[in-house]
């Protein structure tokens, strides 16, 4: 789940371009890509989104259209929503959706200002400030967060030490659900720290951010290994330095 702060008309073309390029699908004419803009996003819109995201992928019968949009049996669903405002009631409804999303479903919400979001919802998403905004990550909120501190230490370590950090942390966590939640927060923190150092639309940043995005997606799969996913990110970071 991503929240992008900035001007909808400027961000949407770039976002669509990135999805098409790095997810190997076409947005135009794709029934599994939902793009809508609202002046105000309310409870009715949240309820509609809940229904849409809970459905299985739309069936595509036309072979020509399948080829055009890059359709396959396991295609993911994308929801791109732009809005100038969002009611608290709608945000509380979204919170439930984001806590238990349908597998393979991804959300991108474009807002003019991040302050629109409630803190409870803000903690469940990845914030994407763009070069068109002056948004700064609230570091005071992360100063005592274990996942953020681990991510910061991880990014400043060499590859060998990164593997040691991952191994040590994995050993301390026994419960699988706790392990997944911690590593999800670590990946979110790595992403947030990197956004402060990289140009979000620069060529060099895209491969790294894509790998983090995919790692978070794979983390939702029951059989995936959080430890191995973070080790993969360590290798990706080293290879792009």
The pLDDT of residue 196: 62
Compute φ and ψ for 34, nearest 5 degrees: -105, 115
pLDDT at 190: 87
What pTM value is reported for the model?
0.53
Q: Which CATH number fits domain 1-135: 3.30.70.260, 3.30.70.2860, 3.40.190.10, 3.40.50.300?
A: 3.40.50.300
Closest to 38 in 3D by CA, of 77, 94, 76: 94
* Residues of the chain under the 50 pLDDT cut: 58, 60-62, 64-73, 132-143, 199-203
The domains of the chain are located at: 1-135, 138-241
CA–CA dist 94, 96 (Å, integer): 5
Exposed e or buried b per residue across 192-229, where buried means at least 16 C-beta atoms within 10 angstroms of its C-beta: bbbbeeeebeeeebbebbebbbbbbbebeeeeebbbeb
**Parallel, antiparallel, or unpaired: how do β-strands 126-129 and 105-111 relate?**
unpaired
The pLDDT value given to residue 197: 65
């Amino acid at each position: 789940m991503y929240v992008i702060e900035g001007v909808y008309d400027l961000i949407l073309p770039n976002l669509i371009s990135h999805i098409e390029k790095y997810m190997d699908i076409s947005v135009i004419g794709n029934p599994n890509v939902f793009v809508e803009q609202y002046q105000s996003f309310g409870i009715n819109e949240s309820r509609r989104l809940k229904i849409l995201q809970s459905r299985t992928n739309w069936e595509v019968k036309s072979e020509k259209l399948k080829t055009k949009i890059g359709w396959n049996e396991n295609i993911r669903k994308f929801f791109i929503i732009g809005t100038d405002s969002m009611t608290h009631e709608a945000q509380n409804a979204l919170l439930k959706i984001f806590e238990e999303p349908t597998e393979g479903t991804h959300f991108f919400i474009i807002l003019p200002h991040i302050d629109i979001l409630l803190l409870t919802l803000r903690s469940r998403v990845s914030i994407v400030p763009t070069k068109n905004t002056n948004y700064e990550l609230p570091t005071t909120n992360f100063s005592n967060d274990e996942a953020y501190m681990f991510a910061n230490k991880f990014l400043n370590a060499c590859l060998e030490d990164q593997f040691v950090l991952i191994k040590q942390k994995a050993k301390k966590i026994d419960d699988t659900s706790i392990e997944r939640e911690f590593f999800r927060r670590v990946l979110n923190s790595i992403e947030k720290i990197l956004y402060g150092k990289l140009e979000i639309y620069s060529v060099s940043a895209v491969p790294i951010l894509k790998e983090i995005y995919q790692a978070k997606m794979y983390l939702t799969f029951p059989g995936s290994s959080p430890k191995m996913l973070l080790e993969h990110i360590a290798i990706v970071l080293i290879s792009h330095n």
